[in-house]
Structure 1
Amino acid sequence: MSTPAVTLEPVDLDRDIGLLHRWVTHPRSAFWLMQGASVQDVAAEYAAIAEDPHHHAWLGRVDGEPAFLAETYDPARSAHSPIRDLPDLRPGDLGMHVLVAPPAGDPVPGFTRRVFGAVLDHCFADPGVRRVVVEPDARNDAIRAMNTAFGFRELRTVSLTTPVAKEAVLSVLDRPTPSASGQPTDLPAELAAAHLTAAHLTPEHLARAQRHLVTKALSELSHERLLAPTAVGDPAEGGFELTSPDGRARYTFRAQLLALEHWAVEPASIERTLDGVPAPLDVQDLVVELAPLLGIPDGLLPTYLEELAATLASAAWKLEHSTRSVEELLDLEGTEGYQAVEAAMTEGHPGFLANNGRIGFGVDDHAAYSPEAGAPVRLVWVAARREHTRLSLSADLTEEALWEAELDEATRVGFEKRLRDLGLDPDDYLYLPLHPWQWRAKVAVTFAPDVARRDLVPLGEGPDTYRAQQSIRTFFNTSRPERHYVKTALAVQNMGFLRGLSPAYMGPTPAINDWVAGLVDGDEELRACGFSVLRERAAIGYTGDAYHRLADRAGVRSPYQKMIAALWRESPLPRLREGERLATMAALLHRDGDGRAFVSALVERSGLPAREWVRRWLDAYVRPVAHCLVAHELAFMPHGENLVLVLRDHAVDRVLMKDVGEEVAVMDDQPLPPEVERVRADVPPDVRALALHTDVFDGVLRHVAAILHLDGVLDETVFWAEVRGCLERHRADHPELAERHAAYDLLRAEFRHSCLNRLQLRNTLQMVDLTDQSESLMYAGTLANPAADPAARPAVDPGVVDSGA
């Protein structure tokens, strides 16, 4: 029997008030002090908690069913904290209340202990929490015994008057400390078992994750023509087989071959034999068996296998923690809905196999910092000596305004006091946010001399809570959603890169964003499309370390120069109008645990004909991207995670572009401000259109078209006819760009087949040179353009394997 899944989600008063009222007024809940309260009384209490940025109410579910109520709060700051004036409190304390729902039938042995342990796991998932603090009524022997069983220490009895007078026992549970082996030594038994057993790594979860990733491997590696499956049996049944070069491994499966050579492989149909004997699916074995066809260097193969293992572990974690259904996601609104969609993504990237590597993260780090965990994160702040640090700002932003917007006055005063207490002048420093893992695993060790000589001064955690986004090192502010995203350096290996941030490379980022935003805002066509840019308004990087000095003296470049930096990007929330909601465009490629597609559900909920829904999306997405290319020679990297959809009535109204500083290019000789010159790229004419053909057609539209086709929502030929219509309408609306349209020839019969997995397989440590990305590309012949006139498309032989270039 599988272990029941315990999850927590923010209380939704409109949905949950009936439950809450029944629970808190039940005779078993006498110590909750709400006996006799009306529904209105309970609603008012939890509405006030919802307004308090330092207090949070959580609905707990067990196997999807509502089962308990939890509250977490900053005991020194929450307006509802009954202990905020006690001298016993310390920085890093988190208050906790738990109420288990009255049982509907016979009590389940161990149920309350499992719930209690899950809530403690939730509390300690925030790395900033050093202790959990509780204050049970002194007469509540049952909860005091539970606290003691989980390792709480009873400090003393205190007289409290909020919300009513009571004698309480102030008790604390310290964060578990690791032993020399790295494992916690003082966890209570209930928590230690969960920590040490990695409960998500089960044969059942692994089998599902392996089948999914093997399916993707067969599909995407065949799409890139690294593999050439052979058709077998009745052609109407779509049977294929693939044999390893040594003849030992054989794969058979069914698939449909869709536009752009998209292999829609049926997961349930895949079978593997090894030496003629049925064998389980294993994506690592698949890569080893087919390595001679994949072109991966022997010395890098183990690293790639590690990234695949980490991707499997991430998939198993998601299966264990049961992501929300697409229907639930569409029911959520506002900030919570936006972030729930971000956390629900089950696929890190639609094309890459090893897309959740995160080499460097441990099991606890995954639970604390991965986007799918959705755990609250507080950033670690350091003061960086000004003479060794560059802060770049947008033209409309000052240093003072940045700190005032991102750090409340009490925090700024605290930072200054910390510096003065050390005998340092606050004017000599700039504030720099760090990923908590980066501080613990890298900065405090790899840059120990800088910390010791006070060039870097740890200031502690900021008060705001954030959530990691799909890009893993970018954080959304959940305490103050109108505040900026924060993008941090993170020295984990993920999807072909160490995820650092270069201070030198980021220096001109705000100026580049200002220039791009000005161009976009000043273009009548782009304004009509509703297309706009989320600017990266500030960037900061520290360069006072030995690694930068080595580069200055000997020209030695290394990842160590990309470990202490951050930038701030505009939040999309202030741009929303009444009736609008947000979702990452990556969500259009998402299927939930039951296989239900987010995009298909959106079309259904919108009430629009599928063709009309797609047309609106293309006009908001493809048309402005194409216009930027044709009218301005300006290329973005417009894949799913780099765009935010603004939805109205479940249809796309407009899109917001982000991640501009690192992934934008000007491909002609137009005049540029000196600080923007970095984005000029010398791109061959025949490659320029790939900014649409590869990044949009192959990277996004291919996958969405396949989902809609396979779900029976919209035939793929109709989908691609809409793509063609979108580009034809733009061409007709802009006769002044006729010459540019002819040069780009976006509706040409075929285009070069630029491949992603080939890049990662060639070099798992650095797929491309960011300073010259076009020269790093690898090709596998050409692809027939499904948006071209059908009569002009070339015939395609899916059995051809191209070794690329």
Structure 2
Amino acid sequence: MEVMKLLQRKLPGYEITFLEKLKEADTLTLHQLIQAVFRERVVPHEWKNHGNTLVLSVNDGELHVPVSNLYIFQHIDIDGDLQFVNREGNQALVDKSETCLELLFPGNDRSDFYREILNSVTNLALAFTVAEHRRKQIENLAEDALSYAASQKSPLTFFEQWVIQGHTIHPCSRTRMGLTPEDVTRYAPEWEGKPNVLPLLVHKDRYHMTSKNGESTKSILLEEYPPLKKAFQNVCETHDLVADDYEIIPIHPWQWEHTITTYYKEDIEGKLLLLLNEVTLPTSALISFRSLAPLNDRAKHHIKTAVNVQMTSAVRTVSAASTKNGPTLSRLLQTIFDRDEGLSRSLSVMGEDVGIHYKPAREEDRDFLQKNAAAILRENPEKGMGRDEVALPAASLLAPSPFSGKLIVEEAAGAYSSPDAFIYDYAKTVLPGVLQLITKYGISMEAHLQNCVVIFEKGTPKKAVLRDYGGIRIMNERLEQYFDQQPIDPSTNLLTKDRSELLDVFSHALFHNHLGEIIVALARRTSVKEEKMWRKVEQVIHETYEQMKEDEQIHAEALLDKEEILTKPTKMKALVKMRLSDQYTDNLYVEIPHPFARRKEVTQSDSALN
């Protein structure tokens, strides 16, 4: 078995651990799959046994799922074995994700999804295995994750690389189609991947670049990596090139080996693309795998690279549109933050200073060639941080601490009088700025767990930093009140005239895939009810809109947005439905009961389960 041979080389003595973790990973994936199918209503369901059994309609029968608890956002605790009951009443144990997939989606038409699930299981088991090894190396060095991270050269990198499970609400949480297990151990963040990024020289006839403030990828990288400057000059002299005719596209080493050398041969041979292999850029892999932080450095830019690999449901290349929109939106948001001091105190963004993509000479395969040789340089959120400040991705809060065995969010909440007191401070950190952007400026960003970096000061959350403009929606009717000229090109797909679309993006990202995951994790592990924690979130929303209503220019919008947020059903992206229908970019939503609703009736299932 390839994985076992790999472990013998990489982690000798952990082969048995991997086999144990393989079962653990498969069970977790099975439960995530059931969770997603239930929440997204992929198949019909009903409750039986006084609400203690979830019954899903599957091929030629029913799938019985024992459930011990149902939460506000329809999370379930699966407690016991799953049973398939056929039409004759015969039962069969369902203890593997593959068996469950065959029942839910019979036939070969779902074969891609099958492979993605099984690929995720293997990678998740590898992640659990290496996490066990890493934990043993550091478990006695600190009492908690925040204090240990503060001693590191880049606390953010430590937390990013300690996100073991990956996506919390997608059953393909560790899918990496196209990577071998060897690739995973070399480049993945949970394996403390340190890719040496390759500078690729690109001729002026073969690139398009968009800059926030007039800088280029070349000017930034030559300044931040001094050895690169001499290497750049040497290669231009050696090949008799005009230095001013060339820019630099940072390329992930995996991408060079598996994509660039295969699909860009003609321009490589014609010296329109030229690898500068004397110097590489040392980096650390972040949660998203393709986004990279400078190795042991808090000042240099982060680099978002293209990797032609499917992770969860999408191939992680960098679209031409994103290389253009990123710097443009960063310039817009910087203007807003410069003018709005109150907003900038609670929220900032990782500005995308420059984006660059390859510009092919021919129309054939144009989109593929553009997005597979592309990159974005982002501001480093750790630059200029104070001694007592630590930045972490919100996703890491749901990771198990290597020091206490608790979740990192449990450790953080443990410094407070109660988990709900922590939730109030946390919501006060991530909500007001995001809500102001939506209601005042008509800008809705996906502030989900992976895209939100939270800065803690002496153990207390203080500021949110958003990254990545994927999924952003802008309502120009609101934004243009603050600008003499319309700042966003109306031909882009970023714009909407529908106020509810702004709030749908907010609802999925910040309610479901952020606060909802944190609150349900604390409810599962502490004695505090999730209703009590959601009341703290509601309090922050009320306080934020009370303040916004004082601004006569946005008074009406504030009332409308607050009413919709606090009363209408929440929208959650149906990620499995989107995958099964091959709709990767067109959002499909399902409505989930509201966390702030005062339920007048309690269903039989709810009363039995709570």
- 1:618 maps to what in 2? 427
Name the SS of the counterpart of 1:376 in structure 2. coil
Distance, in Å, in 2 between the alignment partners of 1:798 and 1:450 is: 63
Distance, in Å, in 2 between the alignment partners of 1:794 and 1:690 is: 26
- 1:598 maps to what in 2? 408
* Equivalent in 583, 596, 608 of residue 392 of structure 2: 583
Name the SS of the counterpart of 2:249 in structure 1. strand
The question of whether the paired residues in 1 share the 8 Å contact of 2:570 and 2:594 is answered with no
- 1:668 maps to what in 2? 476
Is 1:430 the counterpart of 2:247? The answer is: yes
- 2:587 maps to what in 1? 777
Distance, in Å, in 1 between the alignment partners of 2:498 and 2:440 is: 17
- 1:12 maps to what in 2? none
- 2:510 maps to what in 1? 696
Q: What TM-score does the superposition give when structure 2 sets the normalisation length?
A: 0.87
The question of whether the paired residues in 1 share the 8 Å contact of 2:189 and 2:284 is answered with yes
**Relative contact order (C-alpha < 8 Å, sep 6+): which is higher?**
2
- 2:443 maps to what in 1? 634
Distance, in Å, in 1 between the alignment partners of 2:282 and 2:198 is: 11
What is the Cα deviation at residue 722 of structure 1?
A: 0.9
- Mark the runs of 5 or more structure 1 residues left unpaired by the alignment: 1-182, 184-188, 769-775, 800-805
* Equivalent in 186, 196, 199 of residue 378 of structure 1: 196
The question of whether the paired residues in 2 share the 8 Å contact of 1:261 and 1:798 is answered with no
The question of whether the paired residues in 1 share the 8 Å contact of 2:535 and 2:596 is answered with yes
- 1:27 maps to what in 2? none
What is the Cα deviation at residue 514 of structure 1?
A: 1.2
* Equivalent in 183, 188, 192 of residue 365 of structure 1: 183
1:705-754 alpha-carbon deviations (Å, 9 max, x no partner)? 11111111532111111111111111222223331122222444332534
What is the Cα deviation at residue 280 of structure 1?
A: 5.4
Distance, in Å, in 1 between the alignment partners of 2:55 and 2:401 is: 29
What is the Cα deviation at residue 336 of structure 1?
A: 4.4
Structure 1 window deviating more from structure 2 (214-223 vs 468-477): it is 214-223
- 2:260 maps to what in 1? 443
- 1:231 maps to what in 2? 47
Is 1:653 the counterpart of 2:453? The answer is: no
Pairwise mapping of residues 106-505 of structure 1 onto structure 2 (< 5 A)?
Answer: 194=9, 199=15, 202-227=18-43, 229-233=45-49, 238-242=52-56, 244-247=58-61, 250-266=63-79, 269-273=80-84, 276=90, 278-279=92-93, 281-291=95-105, 299=109, 301-321=110-130, 322=132, 324=135, 329-332=145-148, 333=150, 334-395=152-213, 397=215, 401-408=219-226, 410-460=227-277, 462-505=279-322
The question of whether the paired residues in 2 share the 8 Å contact of 1:495 and 1:760 is answered with no
Distance 1:694 1:433, change over 3 A: same
Distance, in Å, in 1 between the alignment partners of 2:603 and 2:428 is: 29
The question of whether the paired residues in 2 share the 8 Å contact of 1:666 and 1:679 is answered with no
Distance 1:383 1:308, change over 3 A: same
What is the Cα deviation at residue 355 of structure 1?
A: 2.5
Name the SS of the counterpart of 1:335 in structure 2. coil
The question of whether the paired residues in 2 share the 8 Å contact of 1:397 and 1:537 is answered with yes
* Equivalent in 311, 327, 337 of residue 520 of structure 1: 337
The question of whether the paired residues in 2 share the 8 Å contact of 1:466 and 1:476 is answered with yes
Distance 1:634 1:508, change over 3 A: closer
1:563-610 alpha-carbon deviations (Å, 9 max, x no partner)? 101110011112311311111111123235896222111111x24432
The question of whether the paired residues in 2 share the 8 Å contact of 1:223 and 1:263 is answered with no
What is the Cα deviation at residue 361 of structure 1?
A: 0.6
Answer 1 or 2: which has greater helix percent.
2
Distance, in Å, in 1 between the alignment partners of 2:468 and 2:495 is: 17
What is the Cα deviation at residue 195 of structure 1?
A: 7.2
Name the SS of the counterpart of 2:400 in structure 1. coil
What is the Cα deviation at residue 634 of structure 1?
A: 0.9
Structure 1 window deviating more from structure 2 (396-405 vs 741-750): it is 396-405
Distance, in Å, in 2 between the alignment partners of 1:595 and 1:241 is: 34
Q: What TM-score does the superposition give when structure 1 sets the normalisation length?
A: 0.67
Name the SS of the counterpart of 2:455 in structure 1. strand
1:170-221 alpha-carbon deviations (Å, 9 max, x no partner)? xxxxxxxxxxxxx9xxxxx998953799948954222111111111122222
What is the Cα deviation at residue 435 of structure 1?
A: 0.4
1:442-491 alpha-carbon deviations (Å, 9 max, x no partner)? 10111111111111001116444211111111001114331000001111
Distance 1:485 1:283, change over 3 A: same
User: Once superposed, what is the RMSD of the aligned Cα atoms?
Assistant: 3.1
- Percent sequence identity is 17
1:10-65 alpha-carbon deviations (Å, 9 max, x no partner)? xxxxxxxxxxxxxxxxxxxxxxxxxxxxxxxxxxxxxxxxxxxxxxxxxxxxxxxx
Distance, in Å, in 2 between the alignment partners of 1:607 and 1:725 is: 18
What is the Cα deviation at residue 499 of structure 1?
A: 1.2
Aligned length: 581
The question of whether the paired residues in 1 share the 8 Å contact of 2:286 and 2:293 is answered with yes
What is the Cα deviation at residue 271 of structure 1?
A: 3.3
Amino acid at match of 1:520: F
Distance 1:207 1:505, change over 3 A: closer
Larger Rg: 1
Amino acid at match of 1:282: K
What is the Cα deviation at residue 373 of structure 1?
A: 0.7
Distance, in Å, in 1 between the alignment partners of 2:153 and 2:564 is: 37
